[in-house]
Copies of this chain bind each other. A is one copy, B any other.
Amino acid sequence: MSEIKIPKATAKRLPLYYRYLNFLHDAEKKKVSSTELSEAVKVDSATIRRDFSYFGALGKRGYGYDVNDLLNFFKKTLNQDRLTNVALVGVGNLGHALLNYNFRQTNSIRISAAFDSDPEITGTIQSGVPIYPMAELVQQLKDQQIDITILTVPNPAAQEVTNLLVNAGVRGILNFTSLRLSVPDNVRVQNVDLANELQTLIYFLDHYDAQLKPAENADSVTLDVKTDNK
């Protein structure tokens, strides 16, 4: 066991690689090249080789990468050989959709508990997941040894619920609210801001030179503003 430094940007791409490797495996492909992978996951082939090289030599020069080898490696690296249980807090429309979302199939992640403040739905089971009242949060997370939660409560409740989660010992929060949560340093928050994503997309469309050479990889946008230069 030795420690290897993996850049953040690389780490974020690993699941992407892993998923496509699974696809290749199912298609019974034996080998794959960085060029081929690049086409599928839309990441520069040099970046892929760079990424893989952080883990040491996984491929063969002149040949490519062995799909099974890679897959096994990623399976271990991403801890895909054991099931990870997570909880979901806030069973509204989005929460409900996520309960149905198939995390398990490709990612061996399971939502094994959900929580809500609405007594109408607590005590029921939705999409195979039991909905508990908020009062049972601490106990259930403890019993089920869950320290990762998906947060899909309304914005006004977000920080308050977050505090509960932190006190319950949660280490990671996938935050679907549009607030930036305050958490202690030992808790990690991953933000998924849906309105923001859409807004950003629209912004880019409005301000990129869309007709000419819009170059996926451009790193700055051109913006028209009125300037008061007297």
Contact = CB atoms under 8 A, between A and B. Distances in A.
Contacts of A174: 197-198, 201
Interface residues of A, number: 82
A96 interface: yes
A24 to B, nearest CB: 14
A225 B78 CA distance: 11
B2 A198 contact: no
A109 B5 CA distance: 42
A53 interface: no
B55 A225 contact: yes
Interface stretch (A8-16, A59-67, A132-140): A8-16
Contacts of A178: 19, 106
B150 A198 contact: yes
A145 interface: no
A205 B6 contact: no
Interface of A: 1-8, 11-12, 14-16, 19, 40-42, 55-56, 77-79, 84, 86, 93-94, 96-98, 100-103, 106-107, 109, 147-148, 150, 171-172, 174, 178, 180, 185-186, 188, 190, 192-208, 210-211, 213-216, 218-228
